[in-house]
Amino acid sequence: MSQPIILYSHKAGPNPWKVAIILEELGIKYETKFLGMPAEVKGKEYTAKNPNGRVPAIDDPNTGITLWESGAIIEYLVDRYDTSAKLTYTSSPEKYYIKQWLMFQMFNNFHPEKLPSAIERYANEVKRVTMVLNNALEGKEYLVGDKCTYADLSFVTWGALAPFITGEQHKINFDEYPNYKAWMERLNARPAVKKVLEDKQKVMSG
Amino acid sequence: MSQPIILYSHKAGPNPWKVAIILEELGIKYETKFLGMPAEVKGKEYTAKNPNGRVPAIDDPNTGITLWESGAIIEYLVDRYDTSAKLTYTSSPEKYYIKQWLMFQMFNNFHPEKLPSAIERYANEVKRVTMVLNNALEGKEYLVGDKCTYADLSFVTWGALAPFITGEQHKINFDEYPNYKAWMERLNARPAVKKVLEDKQKVMSG
């Protein structure tokens, strides 16, 4: 692999940063192009790449592929570049459990347009998801097997937003979910995750 | 393969039927267990299988796996039982494009709890998704390559609900999306899809 992957991103949204974490974890060279919202993301040039008009998307000049949907991009990157299975399992049932948790994450993604009208319902949903994760992590360090996989990493940006999405009124006390809290701390302590969250902080404040 | 897969389902929800379509398409033996909502789906026995308390889930006695999240179940079934690649591509980039559209479908799933408050916004979103699909299908019979894959099939139950979800007031004229309409008709004409939609009709009216 020689040429950097192009990651189409937005400063604020969680999903492009989810992909950046996987790129960092796997040591894949990449360049980020930040698009303006909505003009560039909904514009002709970008929607020729991604007809859905959302970020992220990637161009991989090494294979010629253009791909969108963060979950599909993550599985592509792992399939193609994680040759030592650092972030995945190639055995069954583990590889399917990873998919299960990735899909669960996708399904519970924050949909920016669907948010503010129903803060209370949204807060309850965040609580419910946190509890499902907390229970799944009972006696375990990671969701699948005994190592950090892309299933775990797919929750990092969700976890970073979760405390803020519920508003002051419906604030969640994450101390009530000790397995979840320890897991998030474990994920956030990884050098690749730290780097990406710092990069995000930088572009958001810059 | 000798023992039937157990599919945990609900009469009304779209996602278990999405899995049934794949089972039928691949000629996999299966038995459906319909669970009551919310008592059984949220009950102890079922949440021991699926801590998320949602249908579908499957038990595959042939491999011993229990799996939930419709997208992960579909990929498991195709991986394991579609040995002739009837519904998939094993080549790149096609196999990643299939994932991309499956993820797009998952992301735009109807979330029953998040519905009624904002019918207009929801109708606009259904229109948007229909238009994205209509554009992607320009000059093509299927989303990826030149055959029907599990990416196409994952949209069948979404397509069946879409006209009803918007209410009379925001009704969508699907004639404005001829590629989408012809594609849905093509998918709905498949024997496996017909059978599942008829099965659904039967249990809903029975």
Give the model's pLDDT for residue B115: 55
- Residues B194 and B188: beta-carbon distance below 8 Å: yes
* Edge-to-edge strand list for the sheet holding B30-34: B30-34, B5-9, B57-60, B65-68
Give the model's pLDDT for residue A192: 97
Residue B114 confidence (pLDDT) above 80: no
Give the model's pLDDT for residue A114: 54
Give the model's pLDDT for residue A30: 98
Give the model's pLDDT for residue A166: 76
Instruction: Grade residue A111 by pLDDT with cuts at 50, 70 and 90.
Output: low
- As a whole number of angstroms, the distance between CA A85 and CA A22 comes to 13
Give the model's pLDDT for residue A141: 98
Q: What mean pLDDT is predicted for residues A105-130?
A: 77
Chain B residues whose CB is inside 8 A of the A91 CB are none
User: Token pair of B49, please?
Assistant: 């299988």
Instruction: Grade residue A122 by pLDDT with cuts at 50, 70 and 90.
Output: confident
Q: What mean pLDDT is predicted for residues A122-150?
A: 94
Residue B116 confidence (pLDDT) above 60: no
Hey, of B8, B15, B46, B52, which one would you mutate to test binding to chain A, going by the most A CBs within 10 A of its CB?
B52
Residue A182 confidence (pLDDT) above 90: yes
Residue A112 confidence (pLDDT) above 60: no
Give the model's pLDDT for residue A1: 58
Q: What mean pLDDT is predicted for residues A98-120?
A: 78
Q: What mean pLDDT is predicted for residues B184-197?
A: 97
* pLDDT one-digit tens code per residue, B26-57: 999 999 999 998 899 999 999 999 999 999 99
User: Token pair of A128, please?
Assistant: 């419910």
The minimal CB distance from B71 to the residues A64, A97, A103 is found for: A103
Residue A116 confidence (pLDDT) above 60: no
Mean of the per-residue pLDDT values for chain B? 92
**Which stretches does DSSP call E strand in chain B?**
5-9, 30-34, 57-60, 65-68
Instruction: Grade residue B122 by pLDDT with cuts at 50, 70 and 90.
Output: confident
Residue B112 confidence (pLDDT) above 90: no
B71 and A113: CB-CB below 8 Å?
no
Give the model's pLDDT for residue A107: 82
Alpha helices in chain B (DSSP H): 14-25, 44-49, 70-81, 94-107, 119-136, 150-153, 156-165, 178-188, 191-205
- As a whole number of angstroms, the distance between CA A22 and CA A80 comes to 12
A107 and B102: CB-CB below 8 Å?
no
Mean of the per-residue pLDDT values for chain A? 92
* pLDDT one-digit tens code per residue, A65-86: 999 999 999 999 999 999 999 9
Give the model's pLDDT for residue A37: 85
B52 and A104: CB-CB below 8 Å?
yes
Q: What mean pLDDT is predicted for residues B141-154?
A: 97
Q: What mean pLDDT is predicted for residues A50-58?
A: 95
Chain B residues whose CB is inside 8 A of the A139 CB are none
Give the model's pLDDT for residue B1: 58
- As a whole number of angstroms, the distance between CA A174 and CA A67 comes to 35
Please list, residue by residue across A52-89, b when 16 or more beta carbons sit within 10 angstroms of its beta carbon and e when fewer do: bbbbbbbbbeeeebbbbbbbbbbbbbbebbbeeeebbb
Q: What mean pLDDT is predicted for residues B165-188?
A: 92
- Residues A155 and A202: beta-carbon distance below 8 Å: no
Residue A24 confidence (pLDDT) above 90: yes
User: Token pair of A91, please?
Assistant: 């055995």
Task: Name all domains of chain A by residue range, CATH numbers in brackets.
Answer: 5-84+193-205 (3.40.30.10), 94-189 (1.20.1050.10)
ipTM of the complex: 0.92
Amino acid occupying residue A96: Y
